[in-house]
């Protein structure tokens, strides 16, 4: 795998961000490109993107985009899914090392061995994978879900089948509760959502009486139990718009999510969880995804300029394509 220095040969810490943005606009036109940005990347990148969204919307945007090149400011599995769903397009990821702790927690060979073991013990199941997985894992699964469509997809699994849910144990447990379906859970977790401590959350609630706690279903059960609203990133946006009065919201997800919430519904006050750690009331906002943070304006510009890193089609994408299409597009 090439090193970051090889991929980004011209990183200059003194570059003017406005000049970089102008260059991105020019390169986008020259290369017939569109920029997709997940709600967890830096706000500045979300602001220059053509489309922002959650995992589900961005996967669909990648398919419907008319441009021949997609720059995916997100993480590896997102760009990989975009390539699988649109093989004819050139898909660029600003930093090839932008991975995902959930995807890392479920290697394809371990999953295949576990599935074989379950079958040998007489389990008759379908495998449902969170989109935060590699294509090799997706190719071993029956369904792919995102936080935005998980409930409807679970409803499509025949009632007489057991469900093996991978890799996020917290999302899986939450889905068991809301769908009433029993699931065998893979023991994976997202490093960002696992970082919230219940003490931090309770302290924030105490310091902000009448606040509303919003949590992503990737959070552990202890956090969800103290939350007023549970939903993925797009559902959080819909929720804040639905509130009639200005409120204080404690946000238990990746801290960059506050950027689109603030833009959409600036009448509310958003506080990241954990927060309120300093005596001056400032929040630490230490809940940033290190993989999403690999996306920078300069890397967006450079991948457009040099046409790399590019997601390259792999033979095993073919099987993952069928699963992704029937789960996300139908
Ligand atoms: P959503 O964007 O679907 O809410 O999921 C967040 C996430 O896990 C991104 O990696």
Q: pLDDT at residue 197 above 90?
A: no
pLDDT tier at 282 (50, 70, 90 boundaries)?
Answer: low
Average pLDDT, the chain: 93
pLDDT at 126: 98
Helix, strand and coil in the chain, % to nearest 5: 45, 15, 40
Q: For residue 51, what is the enclosing H or E element?
A: strand 51-53
Ligand 1 atom having least distance to the Cα of 253: 6
Of the candidates 306, 162, 192, 330, the one whose C-alpha atom is nearest the C-alpha of residue 252 is 192
User: CA 136 → CA 59, 77, 300, distances in Å?
Assistant: 18, 11, 26
Range with the lowest mean pLDDT among 63-72, 179-188, 191-200? 191-200
Among protein residues, the one with the nearest Cα to ligand 1's atom 2 is 54
- pLDDT number for residue 15: 86
For residue 278, pLDDT over 60 is answered with no
Q: What percent of the chain has pLDDT over 70?
A: 93
Q: What is the pLDDT of residue 273?
A: 87
CA 30–ligand 1 middle distance (angstroms): 31
**Pairing outcome for strands 69-73 and 269-272:** unpaired
Q: Which atom of ligand 1 is nearest to the CA of 236?
A: 4
The reply to whether ligand 1 has any atom less than 6 angstroms from the CB of 147 is: yes
Lowest mean pLDDT among 9-23, 91-105, 123-137: 9-23
pLDDT, tens only, 308-321: 999 999 999 999 99
CA angle, corner 6, sides to 311 and 67, nearest 5?
35
For ligand 1, atom 10, the nearest C-alpha belongs to 132
- For residue 253 and ligand 1, the question of a CB distance below 6 A is answered with no
The SS3 of residue 291 is coil
For 206, phi and psi rounded to 5 degrees?
-65, -40
Measured in angstroms, how far is the CA atom of residue 298 from the centroid of ligand 1?
24
Look at 7-21, 89-103, 187-201 and tell me which has the smallest mean pLDDT: 7-21
Residue 275: band (very low, low, confident or very high) from pLDDT cuts 50, 70, 90: very low
Q: Is 263 left (phi over 0), alpha (psi -120 to 50) or beta?
A: alpha
Q: What angle do CA 146, 38, 87 make, to 5 degrees?
A: 75
Rounded to a whole number of angstroms, the CA Rg of the chain reads 20
Domains, the chain, ranges and CATH? 4-99+291-314 (3.40.50.10800), 103-189 (3.40.50.10800), 193-272 (3.40.50.10800)
> Is the Cβ atom of 52 under 6 angstroms away from ligand 1?
no
Summarize the confidence of residues 283-289 as an average pLDDT.
Answer: 69
Closest CA relative to residue 216, chosen from 154, 130, 296: 130
For ligand 1, mutation pick of 58, 59, 60, 132 (most atoms within 8 Å of CB): 132
Residue 172's SS3 state is helix
Ligand 1 center to 113 CA (angstroms): 27
Cβ of 149 closer than 6 Å to ligand 1, yes or no, is: no
**Cβ of 127 below 6 Å from ligand 1:** no
**In sequence order, which ranges of the chain are alpha helices (DSSP H)?**
4-7, 17-30, 43-48, 55-64, 76-85, 101-104, 108-120, 135-138, 150-156, 169-179, 198-207, 221-224, 233-242, 258-264, 297-306, 317-324
pTM: 0.92
């Amino acid at each position: 795998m090439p090193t970051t220095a090889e991929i980004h040969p011209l990183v200059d810490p003194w570059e003017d961000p406005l000049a970089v943005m102008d260059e991105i606009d020019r390169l986008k036109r020259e290369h017939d490109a569109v920029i997709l940005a997940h709600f967890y990347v830096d706000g500045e990148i979300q602001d220059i993107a053509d489309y922002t969204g959650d995992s589900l919307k961005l996967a669909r945007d990648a398919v419907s985009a008319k441009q021949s090149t997609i720059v995916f400011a997100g993480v590896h599995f997102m760009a990989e899914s975009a390539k699988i769903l649109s093989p004819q397009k050139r898909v660029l990821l600003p930093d090839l090392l932008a991975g995902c702790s959930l995807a890392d927690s479920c290697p394809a060979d371990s999953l295949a061995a576990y599935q074989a073991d379950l079958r040998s013990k007489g389990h008759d199941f379908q495998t449902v994978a969170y989109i935060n997985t590699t294509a090799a894992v997706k190719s071993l699964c029956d369904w792919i879900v995102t936080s935005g469509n998980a409930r409807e997809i679970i409803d499509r699994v025949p009632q007489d089948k057991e469900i093996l849910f991978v890799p996020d144990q917290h999302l899986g447990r939450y889905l068991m509760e809301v769908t009433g379906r029993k699931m065998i859970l893979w023991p994976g977790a997202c490093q960002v959502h696992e970082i919230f401590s219940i003490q931090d959350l309770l302290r924030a609630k105490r310091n902000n009486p009448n606040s509303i706690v919003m949590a992503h279903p990737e959070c552990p059960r202890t956090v969800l139990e103290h939350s007023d609203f549970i939903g993925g990133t797009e559902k959080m946006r819909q929720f804040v718009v639905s509130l009639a009065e200005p409120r204080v919201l404690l946000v238990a997800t990746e801290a960059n999510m506050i950027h689109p919430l603030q833009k959409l519904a600036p009448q509310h006050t958003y506080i990241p969880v954990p927060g309120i750690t300093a005596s001056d009331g400032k929040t630490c906002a230490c809940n940033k995804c290190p993989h999403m943070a690999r996306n920078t304006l300069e890397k967006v510009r450079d991948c457009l300029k040099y046409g790399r890193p590019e997601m390259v089609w792999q033979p095993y994408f073919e099987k993952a394509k069928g699963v992704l299409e029937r789960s996300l597009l139908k």
